[in-house]
């Protein structure tokens, strides 16, 4: 079939296998072009390994440090004439490339929140790797069935306490308008924390520790975002922000656990705003990202997912003196985004953005390009007019 992008709202319902493979190859090529990560990880578990920061972590560990990697994710293969999810195609491409390079790369596709998948991962680590020295927790999901209670939690992206009104942009049509988001109730806050907070990260780390599959001195990292004041009502001070506070709580508990296991550490890394499937769903944020990209590209400081994660591993996680932490104990690789000159310019441009000016004052075109690349579209060297088989088996 000939596969074209079909965008509905903030999601693309098709994905291109050759385009996704080209995207993954470009990330691998970037990491291979950098210096090797001295003292980097060698046996890595990535929870949420198929897209975004999780996939970039896996690529960086494998091709920047020669690491064996086990990836955990929940993705759908092609069926009934539909394309697979982009994460499926991404993982196929990564696994093929890693195995061709002589690197261990295996995958578990299922519900990472479940006890059963945790057991499968532990059994596979014990059988193949013995222990892991890095655990990356990069899980993002709209829902979670709690393994202990059976309750089904659904995430919401809402402010807390009062409605929030601000500008947003329809990234498909380029229309700038005001959006009002009603505040979350207590149950919605609790549900979002249950999914995006730190409880499941703790469950994973406790299970791995109890099974004896964490190497002495093992490290773990989870990802977060803070952003500028213009996004705080919907992010930092909203439901997702409360969940990220809980992630930091979990990091402290996990750090204490790892300290007892040969002096390991757990970190929360605050990363830069990027185009992801998750960020595309948050009102206001796509407009902010479009402005940010224009400013950072002009300054030569723009980074995509793979550049961010390589810098995290090489300059922070595995730096000779260890990572530099902020007052909250977090790694900050959003530092270039949050520079005062950048944020002052964002604040200056924000009131000037209208439907008529958005094309000139922002990098909306770059946002659209990055969004489509998430699904394998717009990659150089791919013939999008050619027939392609959507059914691609996992190696």
- Residues designated as active site: 235
Coil, strand or helix at 31 = helix
Distance of CA 25 to the CA centre of its chain: 18
Q: Which region, left, alpha or beta, applies to residue 275 given φ > 0 means left and ψ of -120 to 50 means alpha? A: beta
Q: Which region, left, alpha or beta, applies to residue 65 given φ > 0 means left and ψ of -120 to 50 means alpha? A: alpha
Using DSSP bridges, classify how beta strands 68-73 and 143-145 pair: parallel, antiparallel or unpaired.
Answer: unpaired
Exposed, middle or buried, 66 (CB in 10 Å: 0-12/13-18/19+)? middle
Residues in Cβ contact with 148 at an 8 Å cutoff, skipping those fewer than 6 apart: none
**Which has the closest alpha carbon to 158: 188, 125, 126, 190?**
188
Residue 122 vs residues 62, 117, 260: alpha-carbon distances, Å: 20, 9, 20
The torsion defined by the Cα of 144, 149, 152 and 155, in degrees rounded to 10, comes to -50
- Angstrom distance (rounded) from CA 234 to CA 220: 28
Residue 177 vs residues 171, 173, 174, 368: alpha-carbon distances, Å: 11, 11, 10, 18
The radius of gyration computed from the CA coordinates of the chain, to the nearest angstrom, equals 20
Coil, strand or helix at 200 = helix
Q: Give the chain's end-to-end CA distance (angstroms, integer).
A: 22
- Angstrom distance (rounded) from CA 197 to CA 135: 17
Give 177's strand partners.
168
Run of H or E residues at 218: strand 214-224
Residue 319 vs residues 12, 61, 65, 270, 364: alpha-carbon distances, Å: 38, 14, 13, 17, 35
- Angstrom distance (rounded) from CA 224 to CA 243: 10
Contact yes or no for 392/296 (Cβ under 8 A): no
Find the angle CA(232)-CA(238)-CA(243) to the nearest 5 degrees: 115
């Amino acid at each position: 079939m000939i596969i074209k992008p079909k965008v509905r709202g903030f999601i693309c319902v098709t994905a291109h296998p050759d385009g996704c493979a080209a995207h993954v190859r470009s990330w691998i090529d970037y990491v291979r072009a950098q210096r090797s990560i001295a003292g980097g990880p060698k046996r890595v578990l990535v929870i949420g390994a198929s897209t975004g920061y999780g996939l970039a972590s896996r690529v960086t560990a494998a091709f920047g440090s020669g690491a064996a990697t086990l990836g955990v994710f929940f993705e759908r293969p092609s069926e009934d004439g539909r394309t697979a999810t982009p994460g499926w195609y991404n993982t196929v491409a990564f696994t093929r490339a890693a195995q061709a390079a002589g690197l261990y790369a295996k995958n578990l596709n299922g519900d990472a929140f479940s006890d059963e998948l945790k057991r499968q991962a532990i059994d596979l680590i014990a059988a193949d790797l013995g222990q892991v020295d890095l655990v990356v927790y990069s899980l993002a999901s709209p829902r979670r069935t709690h393994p202990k209670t059976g309750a089904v939690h659904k995430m919401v992206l809402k402010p807390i306490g009062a409605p929030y009104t601000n500008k947003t942009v329809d990234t498909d049509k380029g229309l700038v308008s005001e959006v009002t988001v009603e505040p979350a109730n207590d149950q919605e806050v609790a549900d979002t924390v249950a999914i995006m907070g730190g409880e499941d990260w703790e469950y994973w780390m406790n299970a791995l520790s109890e099974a004896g599959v964490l190497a002495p001195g093992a490290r773990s990292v989870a990802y977060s975002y803070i952003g500028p004041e213009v996004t705080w009502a919907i992010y930092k001070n909203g439901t997702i922000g409360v969940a990220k506070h809980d992630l930091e709580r979990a990091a402290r508990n996990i750090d204490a656990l790892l300290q007892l296991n040969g002096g390991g550490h757990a970190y929360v890394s605050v990363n830069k705003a990027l185009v992801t499937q998750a960020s595309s769903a948050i009102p206001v944020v796509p407009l902010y990202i479009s402005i940010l990209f224009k400013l950072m590209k002009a300054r030569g400081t723009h980074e995509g997912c793979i550049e961010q994660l390589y810098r995290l591993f090489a300059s922070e996680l595995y730096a000779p003196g260890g990572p530099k932490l902020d007052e909250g104990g977090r790694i900050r690789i959003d530092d270039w985004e949050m520079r005062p000159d950048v944020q002052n310019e964002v604040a200056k441009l924000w009131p000037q953005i209208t439907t008529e000016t958005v094309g000139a004052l922002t990098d909306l075109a770059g946002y659209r390009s990055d969004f489509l690349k998430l699904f394998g579209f717009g990659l150089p060297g791919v013939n999008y007019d050619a027939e392609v088989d959507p059914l691609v088996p996992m190696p």
